[in-house]
Amino acid sequence: MKKLLVIMVAAVALAFGSVQQASAQNDNGGLGVRLGGGDLLGAEVSYLTKVDADNRWELDLGVGDFRYWHTDNAGVDHLRHGLFLGFTGSYQWHWNIVSGFNWFVGPAAQVNTLLADSDHTDISLGVGAQIGLEYDFLTDLDVPLQLSLDLRPMAHFYLLGHYEPAVDYYKYFGWGVALGVSYIFH
């Protein structure tokens, strides 16, 4: 388990470093939090970096409480709780609606682990998209703050673990709505 955590932290550090190098010519970026989600009751730390005037990368490191139903061999359903750790990267295209108010969409990918108990530890990869609306207070009010509301549908592919589609009811497909608040560097 410690090896898995070290690998995830190393992957996040490498991804942040790679994106920062790719966007060194741009001085705009941001750091914030993303709160909420479908079955995930938790939060993500978000790093935003511009690729060019209309596009950006968003990298999120999340942790939260994950709840799911499990049916044991006797056919009895049990509500289980677990710790969810995940890393998500999304590339976003942006369009302006009116001054400071934008919408965005783009592809996303995830690496997740669910630590439920000694019998249920899962690792999955997810692919999907992210679509949302945001208001950038820097545009009109010169305040380095951005608020966003987004939807992130994802399809998950389980690589490791004891996931059994016949008895575990958490899904291959999931989605979540989240509120984001970011400090924008300028």
The H or E element containing residue 53 is none
Domain ranges in the chain are 2-185
Whether 180 shows a pLDDT value over 50: the answer reads: yes
- Assign domain 2-185 to its CATH architecture: Beta Barrel (2.40)
The model's pTM is 0.75
pLDDT digits 0-9 by tens, 93-130: 999 999 999 999 999 999 988 777 666 677 888 899 99
- The DSSP letter of residue 168 is B
C-alpha–C-alpha distance, residues 140 and 99, integer Å:
7
Name the one residue in this structure whose structure tokens are 């987004």.
Answer: 150
By the 8 A CB rule, do 103 and 141 touch?
Answer: no
By the 8 A CB rule, do 105 and 93 touch?
Answer: yes
Which has the higher per-residue pLDDT, 125 or 133?
Answer: 133
pLDDT digits 0-9 by tens, 46-102: 999 999 989 999 999 998 877 667 777 787 877 777 788 889 999 999 999 999 999
pLDDT value at residue 151? 94
Q: Where on the phi/psi map is residue 139: left (φ > 0), alpha (ψ -120 to 50), or beta?
A: alpha
Classified as helix, coil or strand, 172 is coil
